[in-house]
């Protein structure tokens, strides 16, 4: 028998050299974040609240982190993805509703009349969302969302919407969970729309997804119990609605909160008002080349009053163009 034990140390060194870059990346938190003030603030906060014996130590049960979704965890331009789903649902369901051909704002959707649709305002959009999101069982609605996501692509990148997620924020979610945080989504988006895919995409289970809700009724139809979604808004989970739903559903004040718009301002204020060390962050969309640049005058994801308060209160504001090496998981180049 040949003795090959002499080769074993060399083989081990070979594999160590080969895997060393991956090991370094695994050991380094938030690899898609540039070294800078935002990454430093996040890491220092997590270390402070998770180090046993630290004056800022927080027990795992109280390590609650909340995140907005649109514009914070995934893109929201050229319009909210849920609204794009609703518009496509109008076209899909149109054969069942011949009256829509002569009824606004459905007529505008079917004719791709963007001006008339825009002029219909919030009332028109809510009519569209109500018609496509309600008077249907929860199971059927989830199936509709998943069917749309399986084939729909973003108009700019031509990528599935579930790939239009921010790689740096995925890393942040994982980093927090690895340090015994519970991560929640608290969004103005409709809750079941997000629950259809959030666990697969973000690793956030349905019970940790909070959003806008419609009234619902328990019904027993054809020998089967169902939850029917009713055409009446139960809770608007935006602005001041966010801390209300956090208190009602989570029952603990977060110590970590991230948003991107004025609709998240009250959630960050609620987080900041608690005792002990707190982290409040905003994603600032500054990258017109890799994503979009918008803030104070945008109709989607307006960031104005919250930006002023962030600067006044020393909250963390992430400059996307300067502080994110990569935007999406599918990006092949990094800064």
Exposure string over 217-238, b if 16+ CB within 10 A, otherwise e: eeeeeeeeebebbeeeeebebb
pLDDT (mean) for 104-124: 95
In a domain, 287, yes or no: yes
pLDDT band with cut points at 50, 70 and 90 for residue 25: very low
In a domain, 212, yes or no: yes
pLDDT band with cut points at 50, 70 and 90 for residue 334: confident
pLDDT at residue 28, as a whole number: 85
DSSP string, 117-157: HHHTHHHHHHHHHHHHHSSEEHHHHHHHHHHHHHH-B-TTT
Reply yes or no on whether the pLDDT at 333 is more than 90: no
In a domain, 10, yes or no: no
pLDDT tens by residue, 47-101? 999 999 999 999 999 999 999 999 999 999 999 999 999 999 999 999 999 999 9
pLDDT tens by residue, 170-192? 999 999 999 999 999 999 999 99
Contacts of 4 (CB under 8 A, 6+ apart): none
The angle formed by the CA atoms of residues 135, 138 and 141, to the nearest 5 degrees, is: 75
DSSP string, 214-266: EEEEEEEETTEEEEEEEEEEEE--STTHHHHHIIIII-S--SEEEE-SGGGHH
In a domain, 75, yes or no: yes
In a domain, 29, yes or no: no
pLDDT at residue 271, as a whole number: 98
Give percent above pLDDT 90 in the chain: 90
Domain that holds residue 258: 34-323
Reply yes or no on whether the pLDDT at 230 is more than 70: yes
pLDDT band with cut points at 50, 70 and 90 for residue 335: confident
pLDDT band with cut points at 50, 70 and 90 for residue 6: very low
Reply yes or no on whether the pLDDT at 124 is more than 70: yes
pLDDT at residue 72, as a whole number: 99
pLDDT band with cut points at 50, 70 and 90 for residue 217: very high
pLDDT band with cut points at 50, 70 and 90 for residue 332: confident
In a domain, 28, yes or no: no
Domain harbouring 136, CATH code: 3.40.50.1000
pLDDT (mean) for 115-124: 94
- pTM for this entry: 0.91
Number of domains within the chain:
1
pLDDT at residue 19, as a whole number: 59
In a domain, 249, yes or no: yes
- For 167, other C-beta atoms within 10 Å of its C-beta total 19
**CA–CA separation, 296 and 317 (whole Å):** 14
pLDDT band with cut points at 50, 70 and 90 for residue 12: low
In a domain, 256, yes or no: yes
**CA–CA separation, 57 and 107 (whole Å):** 57
Q: How many residues does the chain have?
A: 335
- The mean predicted confidence, pLDDT, of the chain is 94
- For 138, other C-beta atoms within 10 Å of its C-beta total 14
């Amino acid at each position: 028998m040949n003795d090959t034990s002499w080769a074993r140390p060399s083989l081990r060194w070979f594999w160590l050299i080969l895997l060393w870059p991956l090991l370094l990346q695994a050991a380094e938190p938030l690899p898609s974040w540039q070294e800078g003030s935002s990454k430093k603030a996040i890491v220092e906060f997590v270390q402070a609240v998770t180090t046993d014996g630290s004056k800022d130590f927080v027990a795992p049960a109280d390590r609650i982190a909340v995140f907005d979704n649109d514009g914070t965890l995934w893109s929201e331009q050229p319009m909210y993805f849920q609204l794009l789903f609703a518009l496509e649902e109008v076209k899909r369901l149109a054969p069942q509703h011949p009256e829509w051909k002569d009824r606004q704002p459905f007529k505008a959707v079917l004719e791709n009349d963007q001006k008339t649709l825009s002029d219909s305002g919030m009332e028109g959009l809510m009519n569209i969302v109500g018609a496509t999101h309600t008077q249907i069982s929860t199971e059927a609605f989830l199936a509709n969302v998943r069917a749309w996501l399986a084939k729909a692509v973003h108009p700019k990148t031509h990528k599935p919407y579930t790939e239009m997620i921010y790689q740096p924020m995925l890393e942040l979610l994982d980093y927090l969970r690895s340090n015994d945080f519970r991560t929640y989504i608290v969004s103005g988006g409709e809750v079941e729309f997000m629950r259809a895919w959030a666990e697969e995409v973000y690793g956030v289970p349905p019970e940790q997804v909070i959003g806008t809700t419609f009234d619902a009724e328990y019904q027993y139809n054809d020998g089967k119990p169902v939850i029917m979604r009713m055409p009446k808004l139960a809770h608007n989970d935006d602005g001041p609605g966010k801390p209300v739903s956090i208190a009602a559903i989570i029952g603990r004040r977060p110590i970590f909160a991230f948003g991107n718009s004025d609709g998240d301002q009250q959630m960050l204020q609620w987080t900041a008002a608690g005792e002990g060390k707190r982290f409040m962050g905003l994603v600032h969309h500054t990258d017109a080349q890799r994503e979009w640049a918008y803030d104070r005058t945008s109709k989607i994801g307006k960031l104005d009053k919250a930006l002023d308060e962030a600067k006044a209160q020393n909250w963390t504001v992430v400059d996307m163009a300067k502080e994110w090496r990569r935007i999406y998981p599918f990006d092949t180049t990094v800064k």
